[in-house]
């Protein structure tokens, strides 16, 4: 009898998985058939020297931009699977900004460097720290570097590991060794994580980390991805890529987060940044995620950047800043502004520079 029940349950389970697999493609959760209407703001060109991804970008108030490049991520294409990742620097004050790879000082395992989300933090004494989500051997750590501007180098200070810091996508640093991080899938095993995606389990979360305390502060995301804070540091914005939305959450004194609202979009939202001039949220998006999962150079994944104005109001306004079918830029993940200059990053392709 026990076996019969188990078999029945297994059958029901398999049927359920089949149904969800069908639903997955049918309901166009991945926006399978979506075509992209091109939108180009002003003058744009690809930056020379970055050809293997620019997954995350963070720009300092001074106009220096950090770009994380060379991500190797299960299920995603990579144009240089054997090349370690790098952090590039661009000075957006220059007439013709160029990208330069930052030297990383000895004592850090550069061969397995696999940088993902990044976040800068400026200390009271004006020192600049770069926090980098790293996936050495497909694990997740957070690396803390001190940025030496004169030497154009990164000095490795510390590796943070924690039981809850798994499958980390992005971080936003708010104090010395104090940050929020997103976990973008629950299972570490690739097959189980695919199953998780198909079943849409909503088991991912946002974590708060400090040396004293580590805790889950928001959960129930389909796939929590980009994370950033408002200019006044009072609100945290979290992109749920498969749910195609942005969660606006209010911070409390104990680093807890309370959801204020969800801004629903029609596209898969990846990384978020805030325009320092206006407070608007800029979202790097995947207009057609299936083209990312099944990569075809003849019909590559496109790129899309949205601007969300009046995020906290009843009616936030969403407009398209950039859109391309992949002929110029493939698989955008992030957009970051400095004055009238815009950088758009990608998972595995180039980085686009635009003067608006
Ligand atoms: C893309 O996804 C959204 C939300 O799921 C849906 O409303 C829209 O119809 C889809 N568009 C296409 C062209 O698949
Ligand atoms: C993308 O758009 C360009 C022009 O905007 C067009 O020439 C090209 O055929 C399009 N590519 C695909 C794959 O649709
Ligand atoms: C910094 C950051 O969150 N980057 C992410 C941008 O989106 C891509 C695609 O999901 C992620 O892989 C990156 O981690
Ligand atoms: Ca980031
Ligand atoms: Ca991301």
C-alpha span between 280 and 300 (Å, rounded): 29
Q: Does the global pTM surpass 0.85?
A: no
Residues 302/322, Cβ–Cβ less than 8 Å? no
Strand ordering across the sheet containing 43-46: 43-46, 352-355, 341-346, 332-338
CATH node for 36-107+172-355: 2.120.10.30
Is residue 200 within 8 A of residue 222, CB to CB? The reply is yes
For a ligand 3 pocket test, name from 204, 333, 349 the mutation site with the most ligand atoms within 8 angstroms of its C-beta. 333
Which residue ranges make up the annotated binding site?
Answer: 55-56, 118, 169-170, 225, 270-271
Q: What is the pLDDT along the chain (356 residues), one digit of tens a residue?
A: 466 666 566 655 665 665 565 565 445 566 766 788 889 888 999 999 888 888 789 999 999 999 998 888 777 777 777 889 999 999 999 999 999 999 999 889 999 999 998 999 999 999 999 999 999 998 999 999 999 999 999 999 999 999 999 999 999 999 999 999 999 888 887 778 777 777 788 889 999 999 999 999 999 998 888 899 999 999 999 999 888 899 999 999 999 999 999 999 988 887 788 999 999 999 998 888 778 878 888 999 999 999 999 999 999 999 999 999 999 999 898 899 999 999 999 888 899 999 98
pLDDT value of residue 1: 47
Among 23, 27, 34, the mutation site with the greatest number of ligand 1 atoms within 8 A of its Cβ is 34
pLDDT, residue 334, reads 87
Task: Looking at the CA of residue 38, tell me the nearest atom of ligand 2.
Answer: 5
Binding residues for Ca(2+): 55-56, 118, 169-170, 225, 270-271
Helix (H) or strand (E) holding 197: helix 190-199
Domain segments of the chain as ranges: 1-30, 36-107+172-355
Q: Which residues have CB under 8 Å from 13's CB, separation 6+? A: none
Is 135 marked active-site? no
């Amino acid at each position: 009898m026990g076996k019969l029940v188990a078999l029945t349950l297994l059958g029901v389970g398999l049927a359920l998985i089949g149904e969800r697999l069908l639903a997955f493609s049918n309901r166009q959760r991945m926006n399978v058939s979506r075509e992209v209407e091109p939108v180009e703001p002003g003058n744009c060109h690809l930056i020379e020297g970055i050809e293997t991804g620019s997954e995350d970008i963070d720009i300092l108030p001074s106009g220096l931009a950090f770009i994380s490049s060379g991500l190797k991520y299960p299920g995603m294409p990579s144009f240089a699977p054997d090349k370690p990742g790098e952090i590039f620097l661009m000075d957006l004050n220059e007439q013709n900004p160029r990208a330069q790879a930052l030297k990383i000082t000895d004592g850090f395992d550069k061969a397995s460097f696999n940088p993902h989300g990044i976040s800068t933090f400026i200390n009271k004494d004006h020192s600049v720290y770069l926090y980098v989500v790293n996936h050495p051997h497909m694990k997740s750590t957070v690396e803390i570097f001190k940025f030496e501007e004169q030497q154009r180098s990164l000095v490795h200070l510390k590796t943070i590991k924690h039981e809850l810091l798994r499958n980390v996508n992005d971080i936003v640093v708010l104090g010395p060794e104090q940050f929020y991080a997103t976990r973008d899938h629950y299972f570490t095993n690739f097959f189980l994580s695919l199953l998780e995606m198909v079943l849409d389990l909503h088991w991912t979360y946002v974590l708060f980390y400090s040396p004293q305390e580590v805790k889950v502060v928001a959960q129930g995301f389909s796939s929590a991805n980009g994370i950033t804070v408002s200019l006044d540091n009072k609100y945290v914005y979290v992109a749920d890529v498969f749910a195609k939305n942005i969660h606006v959450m209010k911070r409390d004194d104990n680093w807890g987060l309370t959801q204020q609202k969800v801004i629903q979009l029609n596209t898969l939202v990846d990384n978020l940044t805030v325009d320092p001039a206006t407070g608007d949220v800029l979202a790097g998006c995947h207009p057609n995620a299936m083209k990312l999962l099944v990569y075809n150079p003849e019909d590559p994944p496109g790129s899309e950047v949205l601007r969300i104005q009046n995020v906290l109001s009843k009616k936030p306004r969403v407009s398209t800043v950039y859109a391309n079918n992949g002929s110029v830029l493939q698989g955008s993940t992030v957009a970051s502004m400095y004055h009238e200059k815009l950088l758009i990053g990608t998972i595995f392709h180039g980085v686009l520079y635009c003067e608006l």
